[in-house]
Structure 1
Amino acid sequence: MPADAAPFLAPGIAWALVVLFSVLWIALGIVWGRRGKGDADDYMLAGRNIGLALSTATLMASWVTGNTTLLAPEFGYRTGLWGMFSYALAGLGLILFAPLAVRIKQLMPHGRTSGDFIRLRYGRLAWWVFMVITAVYTLGFLMTQAMGAGLLLQALSGFDYHVGMVVVIGVSTVYTLFGGMRAVIGTDFIQSLLIMVLLAVVAVLAFRQFPMPEVHARLISTHPDRLDLLLPAGLLIAWNSALFSMGEVFHNNIWWSRVFASRRSVVMTSFVLGGLAWMSIPLVTGSIGLVALARDLPLEQVNMVFPVMAADLLGAGGAALVFVVVFASLTSTLDSLLASTADLLAEDVYFRLLRPQASDAQLKQAARQMVVGLSVLTLALSWPRLDSLASVLFFTGALVASTVWPVACGLYWSSANRWAAIVAMAAGSAVGLSAYVLIAPYCAAVFSAAVSAVVMVVGSRWQPEGFDFNRLQEGV
């Protein structure tokens, strides 16, 4: 957005909305936090008794980022149907993880983190490789969300970049710190409802004013290439999006913590429903991008398609609606990242590596300290702006896609070899990063996952390892 362009929402209204929702999230976080037992397991995993509605909502809300509500319309506007569909395919990560989630719950009923699985299944060296990949991905994801918060709130309301970033991270940190996983899941439930309802309002209004047949006819006459479902680049981007999302979900402790926190009877259903619910978001917002394209809507900055359309349809009310959606999207992702990463560091590094004699109270305190430490580190790394947030995400995709097959094979094959897992993650990451640099960023995850799969399968077939799955319950 040009520096001299007027924001979509008056700063006074924006500040009122920020104060309103910040107070609401923090108050709810404190209240929900006090309902728990007070031990580390309750703080980190909400008592392991989350039902279907809360489990589905937190999965969907954690996967909805500021990118989902703003980049999906841009993809639809820039590349048409494939842009919209390829972004929506990221929901496959949650859906395909559903059967693995049931398996995890069965094999590790008392597990806490994804690191627990890698350490027990493949050993300490594989754990180190996995943790390096996780650290790079998590810091990259935290940075994109923090910088996205600053940039989006600045574009929408005129907030200073650093002020917007500090506000969003600060609010997410406070209620996560006090309420732990209960606060994260509870606020995610409300945030998911807000996002779904408000996006539906914009979409309904858009297609009431500009019916789909009219939009289709206009695109056929002016941009027929945007409706081509055989576009080679679109197919490649779609594959990359699906594999990238699988890597993100299969390895990241956000989703493993949801498995451990949910009741066994609802785990599979919640992941399937959460993935389907999430896929509706980029499809709805991407279709709004198609409407804007059909109308030849003038745009000073193409990633502002959604705010421009909302303001065009609803005036100041539409701008306020977009602001609430973006604020809820950012906080729902940041709280999950902070909580799950803090749990991973507290459990795998502090407890398992540094202080195995730590008490339950010390483990809980370590998790809380990790939340604050991660917030401070994220602010420090995100203070200078980067030119491209998407490049950071594509870079991490080359790494996380290499973990898909070691995780999947390790859960089902007793013959999955630890050295094959180590080489699969290392080789997949190396090839994926090479493809990122030498070919194109959006194909990195495809190459990484392909190489990892070949290494994992061939290595395990060549030298099978007889693993006893009962060992996954040891030391957890």
Structure 2
Amino acid sequence: MQYQSFREYVQGAAKIGIGVGVISILARWVTGNTIFASPEALVKYGIFGGIGYALMGAIALMSFGWLGKRVRKELAEGQTIGDFFQVKLHRLGYWMMIAILLIISIEGMFVQGMAAGVLTNILFGIPISIGMLCFFLCCVLYVGFGGIVLIHRLAFVQVIFMFTAAILLPLYFFIERGVEHVYQGIRLYHPYLLVLNNHEGLFFIVTGLLIGFGQVFIDQASWQRLYMIEEKKIVPTFLLSGLIWATVPLAFSSLIMIVIFTGGFHNIYSLLYDLIRKIDTVFLLVLFVLCSFGAIISAFGAGLHSMISLIVGNVYPYFNPGADEKQKMRMGYMIAIVIGVLSFALTYYFTPTLLELLLFFGIIYAALIVPVLAIVLYKGKTDNFVPLSALIGMASGYASWYKVGNLDAVWVSMMVSSLLVMMHLGSKLLKKQLGNH
């Protein structure tokens, strides 16, 4: 697809409204994690796991609308989160945040690559590594050369398949098996899923909210969509997106109940295999496959496109200040290929579950919540100590991870970074007050 400029490749030719904005945001956030990790959360933490997963994304997306409104008032014509950080941070702080953004971007694509490899293995018996290779080649071609226009076109198709599957699959299974029959089977084989005073499940909900806030607030693709949407429509677009998104993980979590109500299981991947075996209608099976692959490709595509936009728009100019539009576009294509190869290499050598990955990288997301809020809300440039606080919080979280576990480490990370930021801003305010006297 031919673009006249790199800005058009990043944002398209015109601002988008609520309808296209909601579709674009949903296509970004209904991912392989939504389809595969939400059922895993249900199995691990009970009914609160499925609810917590739905809440973590929904509330974060709704909150981001108000944060985004503030961002657009301060920098109306930006393209990426990097543009905003250039205005709000000093040079050292800016490069610290860029480094964090690049790490997070690779993690996001790593997750989608794993989901794609697992799905092709379950469906077609193809080795995971080969499935991932085909997936990455497909994504690099369509995103690297298609840009935002092609991403939005796929988003429409993906959202149609997603909601059709989310409505028809649970409806078909629960009517066929009987809701009461499913409920009695879960009470017999997995009664822990229905425990209401499950403290670990409740802890997962509040921890999930932290991860969700950090994940959305620092997500490059969400910031790009923030700059694509008409300014007056930012808040309603993200509010509506959050409300709609919450229904998707709940729908896919409910599907797992169809598998486990008849007995035990080995692991989350065996559950997915059993689920696909139970879809005995060709139409529904094709629908599930299209929905799953559509979600994974769309999420990976949004992540890859935003990373290309960040590197070419905010990093490349420092090394080649006089680059013209053709050079920028060429660099974008090269970066797409390099990122695809790197993502494939990572997914080839590491194979954790998707929920484990979410909680592990949740330490990074939680550490970023208060620093990002401080950067957005602080008037003028923010001191380098604010992004440094995020790095210290991450280090503290990972240092404590081996002793306290995933969920507690997320809180350690958030509390350390938040305390450092508040102490720093409090000391600045105190100095200002003393100086006035």
Structures share fold, TM-score greater than 0.5: yes
Q: Is the Cα–Cα contact under 8 Å of residues 415 and 460 in structure 1 kept in the other structure?
A: no
Q: 1:61-100, aligned counterparts within 5 Å?
A: 61-91=27-57, 92-100=59-67
Which of 299, 305, 326 is the equivalent residue of 2:292? 326
Change (3 A) 1:128 1:438: farther
Q: Give yes or no for the alignment of 1:188 onto 2:155.
A: yes
Following superposition, the deviation at residue 362 of structure 1 comes to: 2.6
Change (3 A) 1:96 1:229: farther
C-alpha deviations, 1:313-372, integer Å up to 9, x for none? 434444333222221111011100110001011111101x21222223333332232222
Correspondence for 1:276: 243
Q: Which amino acid aligns with 1:170?
A: L
Q: Give yes or no for the alignment of 1:436 onto 2:401.
A: yes
Correspondence for 1:418: 383
Correspondence for 1:244: 211
Q: Give yes or no for the alignment of 1:450 onto 2:422.
A: no
Q: Is the Cα–Cα contact under 8 Å of residues 25 and 241 in structure 2 kept in the other structure?
A: yes
C-alpha deviations, 1:61-86, integer Å up to 9, x for none? 21122222122223323432111112
Q: Is the Cα–Cα contact under 8 Å of residues 101 and 218 in structure 2 kept in the other structure?
A: yes
| Cα distance in structure 2, aligned partners of 1:443 and 1:156 | 36
Which of 238, 256, 259 is the equivalent residue of 2:226? 259
Q: Which amino acid aligns with 1:414?
A: K
| Cα distance in structure 2, aligned partners of 1:226 and 1:391 | 19
Q: Is the Cα–Cα contact under 8 Å of residues 86 and 241 in structure 1 kept in the other structure?
A: yes
Following superposition, the deviation at residue 301 of structure 1 comes to: 4.1
Q: Which amino acid aligns with 1:77?
A: V
Correspondence for 2:129: 162
Q: Is the Cα–Cα contact under 8 Å of residues 134 and 400 in structure 1 kept in the other structure?
A: no
TM-score by length of 2: 0.91
122-131 or 445-454, larger mean C-alpha shift: 445-454
C-alpha deviations, 1:183-241, integer Å up to 9, x for none? 11221121122111112111111221344455445544554432233322112211221
| Cα distance in structure 2, aligned partners of 1:282 and 1:307 | 18
Correspondence for 1:23: none
Q: 1:76-155, aligned counterparts within 5 Å?
A: 76-91=42-57, 92-155=59-122
| Cα distance in structure 1, aligned partners of 2:128 and 2:100 | 29
Correspondence for 2:363: 398
Q: Is the Cα–Cα contact under 8 Å of residues 24 and 155 in structure 2 kept in the other structure?
A: yes
| Cα distance in structure 2, aligned partners of 1:208 and 1:64 | 25
Q: Give yes or no for the alignment of 1:59 onto 2:18.
A: no
Following superposition, the deviation at residue 308 of structure 1 comes to: 2.8
| Cα distance in structure 2, aligned partners of 1:405 and 1:233 | 25
Following superposition, the deviation at residue 307 of structure 1 comes to: 5.2
Q: 1:288-437, aligned counterparts within 5 Å?
A: 288-296=255-263, 299=265, 301-306=267-272, 308-351=274-317, 353-414=318-379, 417-437=382-402
Which of 457, 461, 469 is the equivalent residue of 2:426? 461
| Cα distance in structure 2, aligned partners of 1:347 and 1:165 | 28
| Cα distance in structure 2, aligned partners of 1:128 and 1:262 | 27
Q: Which amino acid aligns with 1:80?
A: G
| Cα distance in structure 2, aligned partners of 1:219 and 1:259 | 42
Change (3 A) 1:207 1:389: closer
Following superposition, the deviation at residue 304 of structure 1 comes to: 4.5
Change (3 A) 1:350 1:339: same
Q: Is the Cα–Cα contact under 8 Å of residues 73 and 306 in structure 1 kept in the other structure?
A: no
Q: 1:207-218, aligned counterparts within 5 Å?
A: 207-218=174-185
Q: Is the Cα–Cα contact under 8 Å of residues 427 and 451 in structure 1 kept in the other structure?
A: yes
Q: Which amino acid aligns with 1:252?
A: D
Q: Which amino acid aligns with 2:99?
A: V
| Cα distance in structure 2, aligned partners of 1:196 and 1:446 | 34
Q: Which amino acid aligns with 1:418?
A: D
| Cα distance in structure 2, aligned partners of 1:76 and 1:318 | 23
The sequence identity of aligned pairs, in percent, is 23
Structure 2 alignment gaps of length 5 or more: 432-437
SS at match of 1:173: helix
Which of 226, 239, 246 is the equivalent residue of 2:193? 226
Q: Which amino acid aligns with 1:348?
A: N
Tell me the matched-pair count.
Answer: 430
| Cα distance in structure 2, aligned partners of 1:397 and 1:179 | 31
C-alpha deviations, 1:100-126, integer Å up to 9, x for none? 111122221111221222232121111
| Cα distance in structure 2, aligned partners of 1:51 and 1:324 | 27
Q: Is the Cα–Cα contact under 8 Å of residues 342 and 371 in structure 1 kept in the other structure?
A: yes
| Cα distance in structure 1, aligned partners of 2:315 and 2:382 | 24
Q: Give yes or no for the alignment of 1:41 onto 2:17.
A: no
Q: 1:11-22, aligned counterparts within 5 Å?
A: none
| Cα distance in structure 1, aligned partners of 2:26 and 2:65 | 13
Change (3 A) 1:76 1:412: same
Q: Which amino acid aligns with 1:89?
A: L
Following superposition, the deviation at residue 295 of structure 1 comes to: 3.5
Following superposition, the deviation at residue 385 of structure 1 comes to: 4.2
SS at match of 1:50: coil
Correspondence for 1:7: none
